[in-house]
Amino acid sequence: MPEPTLQQRPFIGFISAYAATLFVLTIITLLGSTANAAQITISSADGQPLEDAVVEVYYDSAAGNLPQEENIYQRDAAFHPKVLTVPTDSYVAFPNQDTTRHHVYSFSPAKTFDLNLYLQETPPPVKFDQPGIVVLGCNIHDHMQAFIVVSDAPFAASTGAEGMLNLPTLPPGQHRVRVWHPLLDDSQQVWWEGMITDTDQLDVNLELNALPPPAPTLSPLQQRFKDAT
């Protein structure tokens, strides 16, 4: 390729400077939009980040949340995940990955169902067609407990170990926000409620009043194994 002439070099330099300026402005814009995005952090009253807190935000949205197909599996006599958030009309299956049978059920008003004793033959998925909190249990293992939060909000998600969620781009103005956690209240139906704007960095401290479920009772064989290790 021939070298640019002396007349061409100033023009090429101008183009390069313009491209560099445009790149910098783009980065600044992206950083600014990230910094201004709404964010919510959930922690306990003593400042510890709360995992498995469910956040709902209500705002006008042309696109509603589509139903999903999810799993809550059983392993080591426990449900995984402990808290699942799904849109209304979603289906959830309950595969058993243990070598013992389980009997999954719920008496919650939002969804009452009963999956009788099964091992490898996973029952058909259950449809959750009403918003609300569904408490899961196992008739064989009383300590097993999990929750499905069925939501009709435009945004609903559960926090991870850091207790933080980045919210989607919200319309300008204030919007209703609700927060739930399994240990917020013994009824397991109580929500914290407040408001959030499209640029808020909202910190919510929850007073946890519910008692955690009791630890599972070990069988004599399990106890002997534990003592041996």
| Ramachandran angles phi, psi of 135, nearest 5° | -95, 125
Of the listed ranges 38-47, 144-153, 218-227, the one predicted with least confidence: 218-227
pLDDT-based confidence at 29, cuts 50/70/90? very low
| Ramachandran angles phi, psi of 70, nearest 5° | -130, 170
Distance CA 210, CA 55 (A): 19
* Of 7, 125, 38, residue with least CA distance to 73: 125
pLDDT-based confidence at 14, cuts 50/70/90? very low
**Cβ contact 134:106 at 8 Å:** yes
pLDDT-based confidence at 2, cuts 50/70/90? low
Distance CA 195, CA 92 (A): 31
Distance CA 103, CA 111 (A): 16
Q: What angle do CA 172, 173, 174 make, to 5 degrees?
A: 135
What pLDDT does 4 receive? 55
Distance CA 185, CA 208 (A): 7
Q: What is the pTM of this model?
A: 0.78
Distance CA 135, CA 112 (A): 9
* Of 112, 122, 72, 77, residue with least CA distance to 92: 72
User: Is the confidence at residue 188, as pLDDT, over 50?
Assistant: yes
Region of 149 please: left (phi>0), alpha (psi -120 to 50) or beta.
Answer: beta
Average pLDDT over residues 166-191: 94
Environment class of 22 (CB within 10 Å of its CB; exposed 0-12, middle 13-18, buried 19+): exposed
Of the listed ranges 1-15, 37-51, 64-78, the one predicted with least confidence: 1-15
Determine how β-strand 39-44 pairs with β-strand 54-58.
unpaired
